[in-house]
């Protein structure tokens, strides 16, 4: 058996979809894409589902039926897929690679292959530079230029970018557009509005009585490098920051329908449109329309109401049960932004942070936090100058001193303690006892196999002093995938040993991710949201974590550090006493 992971399966299904699209097959490409999307966003591995529940389990994945179940089973059994190999043989073309270029789709790939023998990006570049594409019937000079520009962009582009790095730019552009005469609303839509962890481009929706002026202003912004498309009410540009931005301008009365349309997700929209169709209506960016009359268009809420649904927060518009919940008026009350009162992971210049404890505390207070926990690394992480038991005692004295100086604020004694490769901690019991909150994390042995890694973490969670598991899967979005860990087992252990799981807001981490948050809270495990700040500038990332918690359907009560500090510390204290009593 071969443990083919979800990402790999999704990637294969996406590739099949492209090949089928290339052949002009109807409907099947969408089916494969839909299944791929479902699989890549599952928190449980399809392989584990198969081992546990067999083919029945796979078939139960939404969008997956008999045929795709068979294909997954074949992958698990042989690590190969005959169907895909046949497609690749018929068209020996790097289809995913080539269609990554803006403006090139499967049909053009087919044409370029058949007529010019283009199989990969290198062939494509050579053909374009030699002027061969412009001379093809059906294509021209412009197509060729766009391909060359697209190739250049692809080389420089970083692909999807962490949300936290793009949001400020999107907000800057939005705010500049807001000041245009005749413009009443500008909103960021798309996956940024849904607060996905990574972003491909910036979508902006505006309501204006003077669309021409607004579009002109947009295209002339200093952030813009190049104009890709322009129309009556939309413009599509490439920003100097190597990311594309799209602006759609509508009359005020259509702002809601436009916002709904361009917020997505795609599958949420498809579902809504199918529902509209059942009523004999159509839903598009201009409104919910019955024959020639508009039933609703001004606000999203009005449109949802026509379907007898509650308004659905953008963060959960992923066609993952939110439509059913909205129809039944049973949407969860998602944790409101601004609910997190304190930051529970902060590094200082005692280890690899850049600022003193007091500087971090004062900066956090300025942002409205009521408390922070100081969580410098411990000794096994030698490269950061990790603290030993004596250092922690010294740091405690320092914290006491600063606590007296800063009013209406509380610094909590904590640490980011290493889980050693055998699951033991690198701080002794006396050291653990001296801390108000004990947080643990993996920082070594990333290449351990899943069983070893999982057992190691579970062993650490079993320690009666442990309160929080930091960045449970260890992913770094721009650099490193998750380490091999069985998140279901971790969640079970967290529940059993009453340990909270961290949702780390650092833009590169966002760990736990949304689907794991949902899984954890469904299992009754508590979450903490914190920034992992290494300097004062990082403290601002809390709302990213709140957003991700919302994507995971978390309520305020699921997140421990929405509590005031006295209650929070009481909570951890009580757990510690209970656990120690059970052991003795």
Partner DNA sequence: GCCGTTTTCGGCCCGACTGTTTTCAGTCG
Residues that bind DNA (CB under 7 A): 21, 24, 26-28, 30-32, 35, 62-69, 99, 101-109, 134, 137-144, 146, 190, 200-201, 203, 229-234, 244, 246, 262, 266, 269-270, 273-274, 276-278, 282-286
> Quick one: 104 or 387, whose CB is closer to DNA?
104
CB of 232 to DNA, least distance (A): 4
Beta bridge partners of 523: none
Q: Which of 202, 200, 196, 216 is nearest to 170 (CA)?
A: 202
CB of 530 to DNA, least distance (A): 33
Q: Which of 535, 473, 541, 536 is nearest to 506 (CA)?
A: 541
CB of 383 to DNA, least distance (A): 41
> Quick one: 29 or 386, whose CB is closer to DNA?
29
> Quick one: 139 or 571, whose CB is closer to DNA?
139
> Quick one: 246 or 343, whose CB is closer to DNA?
246
Contact assessment for residue 224 and residue 239, using Cβ atoms and an 8 Å cutoff: yes
Q: Hey, is 13 helix, strand or coil?
A: helix
CB of 283 to DNA, least distance (A): 6
Terminal CA-to-CA distance of the chain, rounded, Å? 44
> Quick one: 229 or 422, whose CB is closer to DNA?
229
Place of tokens 């001193």: 401
CB of 164 to DNA, least distance (A): 21
> Quick one: 13 or 470, whose CB is closer to DNA?
13
CB of 141 to DNA, least distance (A): 5
> Quick one: 35 or 49, whose CB is closer to DNA?
35
Q: Which of 523, 521, 524, 541 is nearest to 532 (CA)?
A: 541
Q: Which of 553, 551, 574, 577 is nearest to 563 (CA)?
A: 574
The residues, ordered by sequence, that sit 6+ positions from 121 with a Cβ below 8 Å of its Cβ are 94, 97, 98, 101, 151, 154
Contact assessment for residue 1 and residue 76, using Cβ atoms and an 8 Å cutoff: yes
CB of 137 to DNA, least distance (A): 5
CB of 102 to DNA, least distance (A): 5
> Quick one: 270 or 476, whose CB is closer to DNA?
270
**Long-range contacts made by residues 250-253, C-beta under 8 angstroms, separation at least 24?**
250/205, 250/206, 250/207, 250/211, 250/285, 250/286, 251/207, 251/208, 251/209, 252/184, 252/185, 252/207, 252/208, 252/209, 252/298, 253/297, 253/298
């Amino acid at each position: 058996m071969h443990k083919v992971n979800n990402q790999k399966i999704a990637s294969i299904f996406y590739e099949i979809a492209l090949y089928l699209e290339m052949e002009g097959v109807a409907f099947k490409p969408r089916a494969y894409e839909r299944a791929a999307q479902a699989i890549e966003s599952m928190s449980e591995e399809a392989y584990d589902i198969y081992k546990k529940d067999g083919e029945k389990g796979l078939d139960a994945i939404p969008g997956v039926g008999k045929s795709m179940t068979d294909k997954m089973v074949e992958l698990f059994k042989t690590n190969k897929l005959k169907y895909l190999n046949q497609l690749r043989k018929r068209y020996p073309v790097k289809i995913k690679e080539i269609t990554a270029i803006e403006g090139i789709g499967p049909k053009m790939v087919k044409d370029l292959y058949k007529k010019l023998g283009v199989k990969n990006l290198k062939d494509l570049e050579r053909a374009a530079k030699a002027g061969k594409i412009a001379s093809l019937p059906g294509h021209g000079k412009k197509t060729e230029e766009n391909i060359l520009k697209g190739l250049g962009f692809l080389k420089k582009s970083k692909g999807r970018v962490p949300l936290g790095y793009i949001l400020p730019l999107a907000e800057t552009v939005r705010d500049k557009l807001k000041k245009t005469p005749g413009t009443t609303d500008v909103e960021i839509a798309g996956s940024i509005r849904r607060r996905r962890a990574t972003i491909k481009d910036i979508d902006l929706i505006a309501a204006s009585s003077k669309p021409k002026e607004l579009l002109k202003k947009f295209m002339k912004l200093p952030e813009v490098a190049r104009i890709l498309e322009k129309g009556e009410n939309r413009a599509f540009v490439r920003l100097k920051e190597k990311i594309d931005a799209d602006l759609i301008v509508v009359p005020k009365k259509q702002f809601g329908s436009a916002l709904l349309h361009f917020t997505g997700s795609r599958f949420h929209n498809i579902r809504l449109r199918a529902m509209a169709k059942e009523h004999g209506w159509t839903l598009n960016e201009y409104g919910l329309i019955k024959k020639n009359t508009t039933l609703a268009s001004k606000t999203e809420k009005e449109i949802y109401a026509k379907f007898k649904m509650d308004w659905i927060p953008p963060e959960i518009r992923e066609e993952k049960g939110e439509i059913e919940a909205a129809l039944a008026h049973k949407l969860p009350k998602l944790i409101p932004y601004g609910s997190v009162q304190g930051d529970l992971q902060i590094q200082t210049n005692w280890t690899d942070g850049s600022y003193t404890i007091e500087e971090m505390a004062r900066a956090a207070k300025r942002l409205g936090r009521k408390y922070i926990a100081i969580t410098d690394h411990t000794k096994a992480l030698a490269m950061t100058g990790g603290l030993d038991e004596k250092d922690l005692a010294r740091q405690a004295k320092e914290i006491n001193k600063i606590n007296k100086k800063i009013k209406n604020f509380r610094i909590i004694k904590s640490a980011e303690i290493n889980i050693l490769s055998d699951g033991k901690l690198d701080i002794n019991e006396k050291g653990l006892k001296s801390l108000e909150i004990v947080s643990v994390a993996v920082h070594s042995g990333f290449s351990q196999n899943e069983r070893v890694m999982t057992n190691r973490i579970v062993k650490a969670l079993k320690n009666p002093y442990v309160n929080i598991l930091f960045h449970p899967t260890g992913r770094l979005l721009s650099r490193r995938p998750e380490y091999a860990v069985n998140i279901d087992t971790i969640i079970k252990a967290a529940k059993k040993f009453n340990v909270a799981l961290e949702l780390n807001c650092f833009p590169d981490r966002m760990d736990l991710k949304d689907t794991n948050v949902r899984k954890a809270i469904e299992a009754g495990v508590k979450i903490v949201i914190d920034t992992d700040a290494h300097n004062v500038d990082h403290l601002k990332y809390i709302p990213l974590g709140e957003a991700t918690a919302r994507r995971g359907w978390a309520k305020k009560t699921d997140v421990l550090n929405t509590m005031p500090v006295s209650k929070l510390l009481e909570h951890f204290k009580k757990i510690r006493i209970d656990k120690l009593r059970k052991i003795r």
